[in-house]
A and B are shown apart, each in its own frame.
Chain A
Amino acid sequence: MNISNEEYGEIAKRVSPPSAMTKTIPMAFLIGGGICVLGEALLNMYAALGFSQDNSAALTSMTLIFLSALFTGLKLYDRIAQHAGAGTLVPITGFANSVVSPALDFKTEGFVLGLGAKMFTIAGPVLVYGISASIIYGIIYYIVKLF
Chain B
Amino acid sequence: MDMFMEYVWAFIIGGLLCAVGQVLIDLTKLTPARILTSYVVAGVILGAIGVYEPLIELAGGGATVPLTGFGNLLAKGVREAVDENGLLGAFMGGFTSAAVGVSAAIFFGLIAALIFKPGTKINENP
The chain A residues found within 8 Å of chain B, CB to CB, are 18, 21, 24-44, 57-58, 60-62, 64-66, 69-70, 72-75, 78-79, 81-82, 85-87, 89-96, 98-100, 103-105, 107-108, 115, 119, 121-123, 125-127, 129-131, 133-135, 137-142, 145
Contacts and interface: CB of A to CB of B under 8 A. Distances in A.
Given A92-B70, A139-B90, A69 B19 contact: no
B65 A95 contact: no
A16 to B, nearest CB: 12
A135 B94 contact: yes
Interface of B is mostly: helix
B94 A104 contact: no
A24 B125 CA distance: 13
Given A60-B61, A108-B118, A115-B113, A37 B14 contact: yes
A37 B12 CA distance: 9
Contacts of A36: 10-11, 13-15, 59, 61-62, 65-66
Contact of A90 (B18, B104, B121, B123): B18
Contacts of B36: 89-90, 94-95, 98, 122, 125-126
Contacts, number: 293
A87 B98 contact: no
Interface of A is mostly: helix
Contacts of A107: 113-114, 118
Nearest to B48: A137
B82 A145 contact: yes
A122 B116 CA distance: 20
Contact of A65 (B16, B41, B77, B108): B108
B62 to A, nearest CB: 4
Given A36-B65, A37-B10, A40-B61, A134 B77 contact: yes
A24 B6 contact: no
Contacts of B105: 65, 69, 95-96, 99-100, 123
Contact of A58 (B11, B23, B100): B100
B109 A86 contact: no
Contacts of A82: 122-125
B56 to A, nearest CB: 9
Contacts of A42: 61
Contacts of A24: 22, 25-26
Nearest to B34: A125
A87 B65 CA distance: 11
